[in-house]
């Protein structure tokens, strides 16, 4: 459900970049064959569903952060954002905590990451997660007082964090 306010929150200078990324994701989704399903049943999203997850996440950039939040109207924390996007885009439930997300699906090498995969940050006890959207970028709900935003995995802060990827 989109109420139209998400687009109003985007800064005008971010919109062309966001639209360009969405166009690239759509083109990649059309050109990529679906990945084979693993025997374990984990990582069962098709390439199309994974791209839908990424595009939906990009559309929520600018939504306010709220601890425990899991809707666009009420705001999001990082796991609430992931649960909402996966539920609405792929009809898939996700664990509510980052620690449980770290064991969901199957691990993916960062060199093999694709749009829609989860990126999880933290060493022994993961503390933050986001949705990879391609081109080295991910969407996440970072902290109190902030908004859902698009960041780079190779950015100064995130490149220093222990990172894993999971495919649901």
Known catalytic residue: 140? yes
**Do 132 and 50 touch, CB atoms closer than 8 A?**
no
Known catalytic residue: 78? yes
- Rounded Cα gap, residues 52 and 79, in angstroms: 18
**Do 121 and 163 touch, CB atoms closer than 8 A?**
yes
Cα(first)–Cα(last) distance of the chain, in Å? 23
The DSSP output letter for 96 is S
- Rounded Cα gap, residues 76 and 73, in angstroms: 9
Known catalytic residue: 24? no
3-state secondary structure of 81: helix
- Rounded Cα gap, residues 13 and 33, in angstroms: 33
Considering the candidates 7, 30, 56, 140, report the single residue annotated as catalytic.
140
| Catalytic sites, residue numbers | 78, 128, 140
């Amino acid at each position: 459900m989109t109420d139209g306010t998400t687009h109003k929150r985007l800064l005008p200078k971010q919109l062309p970049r966001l639209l360009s990324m969405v166009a690239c994701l759509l083109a990649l989704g059309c050109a990529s064959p679906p990945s084979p399903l693993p025997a374990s049943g984990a990582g069962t999203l098709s390439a199309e569903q994974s791209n839908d997850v990424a595009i939906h996440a990009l559309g929520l950039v600018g939504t306010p952060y709220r601890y425990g939040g899991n809707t666009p109207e009420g705001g999001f924390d990082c796991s609430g954002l992931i649960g909402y996007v996966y539920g609405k885009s792929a009809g898939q439930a996700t664990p509510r905590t980052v620690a449980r997300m770290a064991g969901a699906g199957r691990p993916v090498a960062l060199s093999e990451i694709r749009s829609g995969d989860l990126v999880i940050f933290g060493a022994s006890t993961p503390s933050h997660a986001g949705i990879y959207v391609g081109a080295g970028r991910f969407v996440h709900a970072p902290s109190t007082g902030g908004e859902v935003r698009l960041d780079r995995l190779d950015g100064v802060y995130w490149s220093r964090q222990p990172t894993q990827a999971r495919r649901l």
